[in-house]
């Protein structure tokens, strides 16, 4: 028995936007005899795989002790439809550091000098 694909949606092999519904017509033929065959249409729903947001490039900063530093972290979401992004700092953050979960606006007040500097990790995520 052979099962050739008789017809398919345009661009079946091409990269498509998802979610998408693809229609395929299948034929099952016995001993290559067309009168001994059956045809059926099958619908396939292709769903998107949810990807994490991508945080834009951030620069290193050098500031005086006691200064205030502020900037906006920007992340993008390649998912369709685009999802809302929430911003947060990793659990081990320095005192006085905060980020607005909706806008990505970061502010760090009352910076204190440490022997090896301070490092913060930003974590954009889907809502």
CATH value at residue 118: 2.60.40
Residue 111 confidence (pLDDT): 67
Q: Name, in order, each residue with C-beta under 8 angstroms of 46's C-beta and a sequence gap of 6 or more.
A: 16, 18, 19, 20, 21, 22
Residue 54 confidence (pLDDT): 92
* Total domains in the fold of the chain: 2
Q: Are residues 56 and 110 in the same domain?
A: yes
- Which tens digits make up the pLDDT trace of 73-124? 999 998 877 789 999 988 776 778 899 999 999 998 866 665 455 666 777 8
Question: Could you list the residue range(s) of the whole structural domain that residue 83 is in?
Answer: 50-127
Q: Are residues 33 and 74 in the same domain?
A: no
Q: Are residues 62 and 91 in the same domain?
A: yes
Helix (H, G, I), strand (E, B) or coil at 87: coil
Residue 127 confidence (pLDDT): 65
Q: Are residues 80 and 124 in the same domain?
A: yes
Listed residue (37, 36, 40, 35) closest to 23, CA to CA: 40
């Amino acid at each position: 028995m052979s099962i050739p694909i008789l017809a398919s949606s345009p661009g079946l092999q091409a990269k498509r936007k998802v979610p998408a519904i693809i229609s395929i017509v299948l034929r099952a033929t016995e001993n290559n005899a067309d009168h001994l065959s059956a045809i059926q249409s099958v619908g396939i729903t292709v769903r998107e795989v949810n990807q994490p947001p991508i945080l834009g490039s951030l620069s290193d900063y050098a500031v005086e002790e006691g200064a205030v530093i502020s900037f906006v972290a920007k992340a993008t979401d390649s998912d369709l439809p685009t999802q809302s992004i929430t911003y947060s700092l990793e659990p081990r953050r320095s005192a006085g550091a905060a980020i607005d979960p909706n806008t990505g606006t970061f502010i760090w007040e009352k910076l204190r000098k440490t022997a090896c500097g301070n490092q913060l990790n930003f974590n954009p995520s889907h809502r």
